[in-house]
Chain A
Amino acid sequence: MTSTRSSREERKNSSFRRVFWWTMGYNRVLTFFYTMFVVGALPVGVLLGIIGNRDYYTDMSNWTESTPEEVAQMFGDTVRQSFNVQLTSLVIPLAILFLLVWCARNFSYMHGRRSVDLFHALPVRRTPLFMGTYAAGLISMLVPLAVSVGLTEVVCVTNGIRGVAGSPALFWQAFGLMALTMTASMTFTVFFMVVSGNLLNWFLSVSAVALGWPVICAIANFTMSAFLPGYVSVLPMALYTALSPYFAVYSIIPNGIYYMLASIQDGSYSVEPDGVIYNIPVEFVIWWVCFTLLLLALSVFYYGRRKSECAENAFSFPAARGAVRSLMTIGGSLGLGLVVGTLLDNNTAYFAGIVIGAVVAHTVFQVVITRGFRRFWVTIPAFVVTMALIGGGLYTLYTGGLGYVSRIPQAGDVERVDFTLPSVPGDESKECYLAVNNGGGITLLNKEMEWEDQLTPYFSKQGDVDAMCQFHSQVLTKYPGPYLPFGKKMDYNNMQNFTVTYTLKDGRTLQRDYTLPLYQDDENLLSALATVQKLPTYQSYILYYSLKADLVLSLDVYKYNEKSEYSAGNNELTAEQKKQVWATFTQEMNSPDFSEPSDLVTAEEAEKESNAEAAEDENGISSGSSDSFTISFDSIPLDQISPEIRALITEEYQHPIVAVEGISINVPQCCTKTRKLIDDLTKQNGETYYYNEDEDPADAGPADAS
């Protein structure tokens, strides 16, 4: 009995408890105000959302066709939006502000010589001193959040809103994720308290890493994209927030960061984050748990070894200073390089920017943290190492990113390849007129959800994959290397897109996205492209073969010259007219005489055109554009399209797809009869617009075309 009481007494008097309870008491006023703000922001905000919308949704059942359950669901969605708005605009910023103030108030003792004398002379070991303070901070930060979320739940339940957005645990899910990322944020903040020597350097380090890391990721991504042809971002979005827990808190709300910034910019909280809280992948949770535990362990470890005399120094551990400085140097270097390179479109300027940026970033960082040039020369070796890292990275990109540019998988290793081919009008590839899809995909209509999306065709047969690999290898001949980020001559008139995603048999994927100029003299490349386009599998994706006369919906004409533009349309075609149009068009398309002159030019002609355009631009004269004749179609029911397209749709989407829509065909120039017919059928609806009123015969904007 005595021993039980004694051990209980001991626990009660443990250093951790003493520190914890003293810290809680010391911060009670700060915590009280934080709690008031958080509780005021979330439950009250949500309650106002409910009150403001209740009448609307109550009346809704009188005029809507939606069921009461659907109305309740919509009301729940609105409440959820209020919740998200309050969270992103008020609660999260408040919680981050609180943790910064809290850390500065409670851990800054290690940055002052006088305060260190007091705290480190206490009869308390460093670990319980640190952990007691840390735990008090966490509890002070999270408990008000939990209370706030709990009250919000009560507000919802008492107002008859149960299970917002179909998930009764939604608020608690939000709280759980917020608690995780806020804990990571506090640990991150405290870690820099331990490794920095004074409050200003702590704040600079935290800001440099938390704000600098996402920026550096973006700069690195942009740099790789500038160097490497075909580059598709290999940096997952999670990497951008990986070292920035403050931003990770926002990533739990869809568009959280965007709406937070928008609310700051607008000065209002009227913007509404959409969607429910993301289905956060388990990796996200694992990363932040590991991040928190690792930083906490490092903080305890370093704090145990932190010398009291480091107070008021720049940093207590040189390694931390070096890491933050290198991060800043890399960011400054690549950032300035990109800015200068982009402005001057010149590689010499880019590399000069790299060097100047590195020197400036390194010097500024060092001068700011040491408040002068004291021991500046000691940092020169670290600067050289950082420059070597930057140089090594850029050299790797210069030589093709360790084979990134030249990598094409062996056809035998490929399970499937999804693609979007260049659209090349001409005799050899009239399919581009037929595969009349939108941006290379197929627009689908799901009536139930009123939702549209696009699909990308793919090959999985060995022969088809072979042909695609051949074409891809021909594309690569356009990029012989070495690779530089700027000074590339961009022939925008002749640019084509080619995207390809290989799914390998081992589950890995390889994705490339090219914007390349295509010329008549790219004979091998065009031949390889034609080979792909003539493949039966490719042909099966062409919607043209699923179209019929009765699906013709409307006709459109657009003509343009330097003085005026003319447009006409007819969407009230008779059945007879539809038949006539379709018959004429298919006859011309299938005619052995179909011969559309290619609009591809040779590289030499492109050069001349480019120069001529530049001259025209200088004289203020813009180049003209060709006329267009378009046939638009009604949506094709799913059962009327090719099995390949149906398979593509079924494979990709779980929702029932009922139709494919958005189809229109641009009638080639050589289909003169069809063009003439469209012109005739649309004439009565035509209007001409003059750019200069003096030239308008009727002295009025629109006029009938002749």
Chain B
Amino acid sequence: MIEISSYTKKFGKLVALNQISFTIAEGSIFGLVGSNGAGKSTLLRSLCGVYAPDGGSIQIDGEKPFENPKVKSKVVFVPDFPYYMPQSSLRSMAKFYQKMYPTWSNTEYLRLCSLFGLNQKTKIHNMSKGMQRQAALICALATMPEYLLLDEVFDGLDPVMRQLLKRIISDQVVDRKMTVVIASHNLRELEDFCDHVGLIHEGGVIFEQELDALKLGIHKAQAVFQPPLEQQQIEWLKEQLDIIKLETRGSMVSLVARKDQETVENTLSQLEPVFSETLPLSLEEVFISEMEAAGYDLNKILS
């Protein structure tokens, strides 16, 4: 289990992570989402002991990862741009991992090589971006980690490889109770893969929840009212539905609310709409809504 408690990481005057706290359960696949520069990669680097904390603590199975080989031997990190020694091949990188990680499994390594279909002797710098990422994943997974930290891992992988990767990881989560923390912008990829998700924004955690609960607990609705709602009615709606976002265009009201579908529908029906429709949000929509609620102005960025 990963316990993050009031963890702070600073780069000079910049506070990259500001007193964040949450827990990642053993055997879960935790999706870490957030805007650019939110601190996702910083958190992953802190989890694998690359960064020392500037405040608070991170504990993996009750121990701090920084300068702790015992913990670090259970954790493997695949960064967004994996590093390979100059002129190295997959085989030579595997030898490096084998030397450094006592838990290395050669059987698993050969199995993964065969699954991904990579030539072990090819120089890695001659490989495509996707193949380089596959090489990093093969080495990482062959160390038989208890904790797998992945940063933007789906970038550069073709759809077949994405599915293969998801299947391999899911199998290991099931078989070995491996815990996966995966940071990504590709929310659609995470949606059908993660069981938990955490949103980081400007160094703080906006929310951290089970994905199903998150998706069931937030809904968007569109309703048409004749005559249009008055301000008093809108305020009433806000009170009832814990609204994240609300827009009115003439007689039409669009809203995103942190409530289950039934509550949203019942509340709207009390105002007797001409038409109403309530839908669950995709993870991407949840992300955008929560970001907007946190003051992240998408229009400003897109303009």
Binding site for B on A (CB under 8 A): 13, 15, 18-19, 21-22, 25-26, 109, 112, 114-118, 120-126, 304, 307-309
Contacts and interface: CB of A to CB of B under 8 A. Distances in A.
A308 B51 contact: yes
Given A22-B96, A308-B45, 13 more contacts: A18-B99, A22-B100, A25-B95, A26-B96, A114-B83, A117-B83, A118-B83, A123-B72, A123-B102, A124-B100, A304-B67, A308-B50, A308-B52
B69 A117 contact: no
A307 B52 contact: yes
Most buried by A among B11, B67, B95, B99: B99
A122 B98 CA distance: 11
Contacts of A122: 72, 100-101
B160 interface: no
A121 B85 contact: no
A109 B70 CA distance: 22
18 contacts: A18-B100, A22-B96, A26-B85, A109-B83, A116-B50, A117-B50, A117-B79, A118-B79, A118-B83, A120-B50, A121-B48, A121-B72, A123-B101, A124-B69, A124-B72, A126-B67, A307-B51, A308-B50
B111 to A, nearest CB: 22
Contacts of B102: 13, 123
Contacts of B100: 18-19, 22, 122-124
B45 A117 contact: yes
Given A121-B49, A308-B51, A309-B51, A22 B99 contact: yes
Interface in B37-67: 45, 48-52, 67
The 3 nearest A-B residue pairs measured at CB = A123-B73, A114-B83, A123-B72
Nearest to B41: A117
B75 interface: yes
A6 to B, nearest CB: 14
Contacts of B81: 114
Nearest to B45: A117
A121 B82 contact: no
Contacts of B99: 18, 21-22
Contacts of A116: 50
B268 interface: no
B135 interface: no
A446 to B, nearest CB: 62
B83 A120 contact: no
Contacts of A13: 102
B30 interface: no
A557 B77 CA distance: 93
Nearest to B51: A308
B76 interface: yes
B69 A120 contact: no
Contacts of A109: 83
Q: Residue among A18, A117, A126 with the most chain B CB within 10 A?
A: A117
A114 B100 CA distance: 18
Contacts of B52: 307-308
A283 B52 CA distance: 42
Considering residues A25, A125, A126, A309, which has the most beta carbons from chain B within 10 angstroms of its beta carbon? A309
Contacts of B51: 307-309
A19 B100 CA distance: 7
A462 to B, nearest CB: 69
